[in-house]
Structure 1
Amino acid sequence: MLFTGRITANAEVRTIKGDKQVTNFTVALNQRYKTKAGEKKEKTAYVNCSYWVNPGLAVYLTKGAIVEISGWVEAQTWKNREGKVQADLGCAVDTVKLFGSNGVKPNDTSKEKKAEKKAVAAGGGDDDDLPF
């Protein structure tokens, strides 16, 4: 399945059975539509993603980043403590394409670095290396 959405929280890397690592993150999928009466509505579905290929990608999978995910999606069910059946969507991710992010890596919290990134994005960077 192929889908595009926003990451809801910074990705987390976990080590499983010694040296195997998995990157876990959740993607929100929004659907906007109008009812027959013309009322605007919005639905959101959340997909819990597991990426087993490259744990180094986790630094780019930050809250708010827009990603395109390709992988195997399936519904997962379980019973909670009260015995009620719960369900969610899970995806074994094959590929990740990053379309946009919030511009700050999870461990990059200094105000100076944020201001520097904004200045470069706004055209305040060094123009000497531009080819035109």
Structure 2
Amino acid sequence: MNINGRLTKDATVSKTTTGKEVVNFTIAVNDGYKNKQGEWVDTTEFIDCAFWRTSVVASWLKQGLFVELYGQISTRAWIGKDGAPQAGLTFSTSSIKPAWGTASKVDAVQDYKTTENNSLVNEDQTDGLPF
């Protein structure tokens, strides 16, 4: 699944109880439609995202950056501060492509993917095969 949106704030890195790092960020996805009166109505949805492959991307995932993401939706559940069960959706991102935005040095950022040993490689340097 692909989604596009603009980061609402700088990405953060957190660790699980087992020490695995995850990059968390939220994107705003804008859309719109015409209502029955023919007026244009703008809508914005906010999507929580997680990137588990490497924390290096957090250095350039800055507020305002427009990104194209590939991944899948996953569910999460937790107990809130009030003790009530909570649930939500997270977009588990497997590929991040910066499109354009206000982050510094966006022009220097390429489309990256990770290899099995978690090192970053430029996607243009792969063999081009889709599998």
The TM tier, using the shorter chain, reads 0.5 to 0.7
* Larger Rg belongs to: 1
Alignment map for 1:31-46 (pairs within 5 Å) = 31-46=31-46
Query: Structure 1 residues 82 and 48, CA, compared in 2 at 3 Å: closer, same or farther?
Result: same
Q: Which has the higher helix share?
A: 1
State the secondary structure of the residue aligned to 1:43: strand
The answer as to whether partners of 2:61 and 2:103 remain within 8 angstroms in 1 is: no
Alignment map for 1:21-100 (pairs within 5 Å) = 21-76=21-76, 81=82, 88-100=88-100
Deviation, 1:74, is 3.7
Which amino acid is the alignment partner of residue 53 of structure 1? R
Q: Which runs of 5+ in 2 are unaligned?
A: 106-131
Give the alignment's TM-score, normalised by structure 1: 0.67
CA distance in 2, matches of 1:87, 1:17: 20
Give the alignment's TM-score, normalised by structure 2: 0.67
The answer as to whether partners of 1:68 and 1:99 remain within 8 angstroms in 2 is: yes
Q: Deviations over 1:41-74 (max 9, x none)?
A: 1111111111011211111111110001111114
Deviation, 1:7, is 0.6
| Identity within the alignment, % | 32
1:11 partnered with 2:11? yes
Deviation, 1:101, is 2.6
Query: Structure 1 residues 62 and 79, CA, compared in 2 at 3 Å: closer, same or farther?
Result: same
Cα root mean square deviation, aligned: 2.4
Task: Count the aligned residue pairs.
Answer: 104
Q: Which runs of 5+ in 1 are unaligned?
A: 106-132
Q: Deviations over 1:96-121 (max 9, x none)?
A: 1101131437xxxxxxxxxxxxxxxx
